[in-house]
């Protein structure tokens, strides 16, 4: 059975939410992989992934994966300056998502 939408904005809102959820999922997986690779590079004393790259991936929706990977791998958890920048990136992403969804519900 196909769902019938009451209004075009309702359909647009659901579509936006699905797109954002999908993008966030894949960005989170990518960010978690970046954290894992950076942790591995740190242990092996090889070339690291720049913090700017990790933060950009978090800003673009990967912050849930970055947070979970950071906790699981105990990576980037003690560097206060990085944690502050990470939280700012996550907040910017969340505020952006809320704004996009709010616009979609109008």
pLDDT digits 0-9 by tens, 18-41: 999 999 999 999 999 999 999 999
- Can you list the alpha helix ranges (DSSP code H) found in 1-62? 8-44, 51-57
Alpha-carbon gap, residue 91 to 84, rounded angstroms: 11
Alpha-carbon gap, residue 66 to 77, rounded angstroms: 11
Straight-line distance from the first to the last Cα atom of the chain, in angstroms, rounded to the nearest whole number: 27
* pLDDT grade for 51, boundaries at 50, 70 and 90: very high
- Contact call for residues 34 and 54 (beta carbons, < 8 A): yes
- Average pLDDT in the 62-91 region? 95
* pLDDT grade for 89, boundaries at 50, 70 and 90: very high
């Amino acid at each position: 059975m196909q769902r019938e939408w009451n209004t075009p904005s309702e359909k647009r809102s659901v579509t936006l939410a699905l797109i954002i959820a999908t993008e966030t999922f894949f960005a989170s997986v990518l960010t978690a992989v970046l954290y894992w690779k950076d942790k591995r590079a740190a242990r092996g004393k090889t070339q690291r992934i720049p913090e700017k790259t990790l933060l950009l991936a978090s800003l673009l929706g990967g912050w849930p994966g970055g947070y979970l990977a950071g906790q699981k791998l105990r990576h980037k958890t003690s560097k206060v300056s990085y944690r502050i920048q990470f939280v700012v990136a996550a907040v910017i992403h969340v505020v952006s998502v809320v704004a996009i969804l709010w616009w979609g519900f109008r």
